Amino acid sequence: MTTLGLFVLTALAEIVGCYLPWLWLRKGAPVWVLLPAAASLALFAWLLTLHPDASGRIYAAYGGVYVCVALVWLWAVDGVRPGLWDVVGGAVTLAGMAIIAFAPRST
């Protein structure tokens, strides 16, 4: 659960870091929103270093969680309820994440 929580926190930092410049470029938000965006992306990069194994496997597994957090963001922030195929896609990415992250490995 600790790893999953860290994945969610990492995804939120990445999404906020990308969303704020989007607001500036597409919605006319003030330029100062780029400062918290940069801080959020720096936090995202730092959070990646806290994962138990900073390898391609961890980053691939993180991608599945990122997709699901982005769908929650779609609903909570953009006000767009995810459709059936969004939910199915999210479930598929979580299944892939679980396979990648939790499969038994030979040492």
Binned at pLDDT 50, 70 and 90, residue 54 comes out as low
Instruction: Please tell me the distance from the alpha carbon of residue 16 to that of residue 73, in angstroms, as a whole number.
Output: 10
Q: How many domains does the chain have?
A: 1
The answer to whether residue 43 is domain-embedded is yes
Domain presence at residue 30:
yes
Query: What integer is the mean pLDDT of 38-55?
Result: 88
The domain of 91 spans 2-102
The answer to whether residue 35 is domain-embedded is yes
Average pLDDT value for the chain:
91
Answer whether residue 76 is part of any domain: yes
Confidence of residue 19 (pLDDT cuts 50, 70, 90): very high
Residue 1 has pLDDT above 70, yes or no: no
Q: Let me know if residue 107 belongs to a domain.
A: no
- C-alpha distance from residue 8 to each of 4, 26, 46, 59 (Å): 6, 26, 14, 13
Sign of CA dihedral 57, 39, 20, 28: negative
The listed range with the strongest mean pLDDT (9-13, 45-49, 57-61) is 9-13
